[in-house]
């Protein structure tokens, strides 16, 4: 796939789409956004009431996975592809003042918005850093939990992403994520379509391949479930979903003990 995909063009397209998500969340995209989506996916209205509305307006996640994360007071959490900051702010509610949450994103506009919302709302345990999920700017074994929502499918190097997640997690560390996968392997013309990559479709890995990448990186899967309440909204995206069985899943996993 690396030979057929223009990775630089993909990055430009993804940044362009999520720059628009940050600056103009009311525009039309391949995917749904906002509070109605978040509540339908499973987010607690009580949690959403406690975080900035603007972060919720730009929420473009594909599932709910905090029930799989097992967040505890004092946990140090990393949110990959933190975007508007909604998931990072939700995580902060659960880890308390003794914990910390760091959001990582590559889009300057998303980072600027998230940092402004953090500062305006006094959420001092939350930080937002610029970086790439394939090359995490964190020390080995320093985090308790890694979460991500609709982001890893955007990477052309998912094996590297999972290896990096494993590296930064403490022994027995947890990962909980929602992402887009497919029932059958996508045609090359779909994989090469940067617009469909940015829409979270072109990079959808066949679900068994996706979970195999996690296990190869050193994780033990605990839960895999389909998110039937998520669907794309553009006609083009829906067509690809019907053809290849593209759908949202949420999963939980734990860093495997190498001595077991």
Measured distance CA(180)–CA(259) in Å, rounded: 32
Short-list 82, 72, 139, CA closest to 105: 82
CA distances from 163 to 11, 33, 136, 254 (A): 20, 30, 10, 13
Among 18-22, 109-113, 157-161, 246-250, the minimum mean pLDDT is found in: 18-22
The kind and range of the H/E element at 146 are: strand 143-149
Cα of 50 vs its chain's centroid, Å? 21
- Digit-coded pLDDT (tens) for 159-172: 999 999 999 999 99
In contact, 180 and 200? CB cutoff 8 Å: yes
Short-list 188, 172, 180, CA closest to 257: 172
What pLDDT sits at residue 1?
A: 41
Q: Looking at residue 186, what DSSP letter applies?
A: P
Measured distance CA(221)–CA(114) in Å, rounded: 31
Place of tokens 């959001």: 103
Short-list 199, 176, 146, CA closest to 249: 176
The kind and range of the H/E element at 161 are: helix 158-168
Q: Which residues does 3 contact at the CB level (< 8 Å), separation at least 6?
A: none
What pLDDT sits at residue 3?
A: 43
Q: With bands split at pLDDT 50, 70 and 90, how would you rate the model's confidence at 217?
A: very high
What pLDDT sits at residue 13?
A: 61
More confident residue, 108 or 100: 100
pLDDT, the chain, mean: 86
The kind and range of the H/E element at 204 are: none
Instruction: Please check the confidence at residue 4 and state whether its pLDDT lies above 80.
Output: no
Q: Count other C-beta atoms under 10 Å from residue 163's C-beta.
A: 16
CATH number 3.30.420.10 is the correct assignment for the domain at 7-255: no
- Beta strands 247-255 and 169-182 are antiparallel
């Amino acid at each position: 796939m690396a030979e057929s995909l223009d990775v630089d063009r993909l990055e430009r397209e993804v940044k362009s789409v999520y720059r628009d998500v940050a600056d103009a969340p009311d525009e039309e995209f391949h995917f749904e956004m906002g509070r109605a989506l978040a509540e339908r996916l499973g987010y607690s209205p009580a949690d959403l009431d406690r975080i900035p509305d603007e972060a919720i307006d730009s929420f473009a996640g594909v599932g709910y996975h905090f029930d799989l994360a097992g967040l505890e007071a004092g946990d140090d959490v990393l949110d990959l592809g933190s975007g508007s900051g909604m998931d990072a702010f939700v995580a902060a509610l659960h880890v308390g003042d003794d914990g910390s949450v760091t959001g990582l994103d590559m889009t300057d506009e998303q980072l600027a918005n998230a940092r402004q919302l953090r500062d305006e709302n006094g959420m001092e345990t939350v930080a937002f850093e610029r970086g790439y999920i394939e090359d995490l700017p964190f020390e080995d074994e320093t985090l308790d939990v890694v979460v991500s929502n609709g982001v890893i499918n955007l990477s052309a190097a998912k094996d590297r992403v999972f290896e990096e997640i494993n590296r930064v997690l403490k022994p027995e560390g947890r990962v909980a994520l929602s992402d887009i996968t497919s029932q059958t392997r996508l045609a090359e013309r779909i994989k090469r379509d940067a617009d469909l990559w940015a829409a979270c479709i072109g990079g959808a890995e066949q679900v068994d391949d996706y979970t195999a990448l996690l296990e190869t990186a050193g994780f033990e899967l605990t839960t895999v479930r389909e998110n039937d309440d998520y669907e794309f909204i553009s006609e083009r995206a829906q067509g690809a979903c019907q053809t290849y069985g593209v759908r949202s899943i949420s999963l939980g996993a734990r860093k495997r003990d190498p001595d077991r």
